[in-house]
Amino acid sequence: MSYPFLSYDISGNLGEQLFQLSNIYKFAKESRKNNIKRKIVFKKGNKYWDTIFCGLFRLYEDGVYDTIKFKEVSQDFSDYYGDKSNIMLKVSKYEFCDDIREKMTKIIYNNEDLMYNAYYKYREILDYYGKDTKDSDVVCLDYKKDIDINYYKEALNLIDINNLVVFCDKKSDIIDLFDRKYNIYYVENVDTEMGLILYSMFQYNILSDNLEYLWATYISHYDVKKIIAPENLRQYNNKYVSDYL
């Protein structure tokens, strides 16, 4: 039996690509409710196909992919869930969809090597603060130099934990920015994929405008978590964010 194709011209940073995949799976799920099963396909060439998304998707070379006749859909998705055409989604708005949170979590945690590396790094960080350190004893902060330092200081006051893990490009650029009361562990220049998974392992988070780490806070497994984000991330509707500043 031949199934209609469903695709998206996957592009942008990893956080943007996760929203694009989220839209794909939401569309596929709604199509199944209309008794239409779709075959999800993508064009080769995306660097993440070989890392965090390795082995997950059906990939076609340009010469094959370009022969597929797609109907482009950019709005009013519900009008096309029952359409038996090959569908190419064109979406400019990104927001989280709780219906497929579990599916997206499995996608992000797909690569066992990345998962093990992130877990061992997380255990190393907790051990840095002492063998009895619990998840709730540490707060994780993603530092970006173009974000006002007062945002970070206000966020730290809201969480009020002194064991601070800072994700940053270079420790030397920020070593004097935070109060000396904080016991800081620096995670420098971490790979995007590894950083996403590692960041998701922390219970308390202070975000920058990084979409990968916004995804990390969305999929993290904690029932109780504290997440603080810049106001400009409100548009993505991450229901787990506690405060926007």
Least confident of 70-74, 112-116, 231-235: 70-74
**Predicted local distance difference test score (pLDDT) of residue 91:** 78
Confidence at 93, pLDDT banded by 50, 70, 90: confident
Query: What residues contact 11, with CB distance under 8 A and at least 6 apart?
Result: 17, 20, 46
Nearest to 193 by CA among 138, 102, 117, 94: 117
pTM, full prediction:
0.94
List Cα–Cα distances, 168 to 31, 111, 142, in angstroms.
Answer: 42, 24, 6
Tell me the average pLDDT across 195-220: 97
CATH architecture of 112-244: 3-Layer(aba) Sandwich (3.40)
- For 77-90, how does the pLDDT look when each residue is reduced to its tens digit (9 = 90+)? 888 999 999 999 98
Question: Does the structure show a pLDDT above 60 at 1?
Answer: no
Domain borders along the chain are 5-107, 112-244
**Predicted local distance difference test score (pLDDT) of residue 92:** 67
Tokens of 2: 């031949």
Q: State how far the Cα of 223 lies from the Cα of 126, in Å rounded to an integer.
A: 20
DSSP state of 209: S
Q: State how far the Cα of 79 lies from the Cα of 83, in Å rounded to an integer.
A: 8
- For 15-63, how does the pLDDT look when each residue is reduced to its tens digit (9 = 90+)? 999 999 999 999 999 999 999 999 999 999 999 999 999 999 999 998 9
Nearest to 212 by CA among 224, 228, 200, 229: 200
Tell me the average pLDDT across 166-193: 92
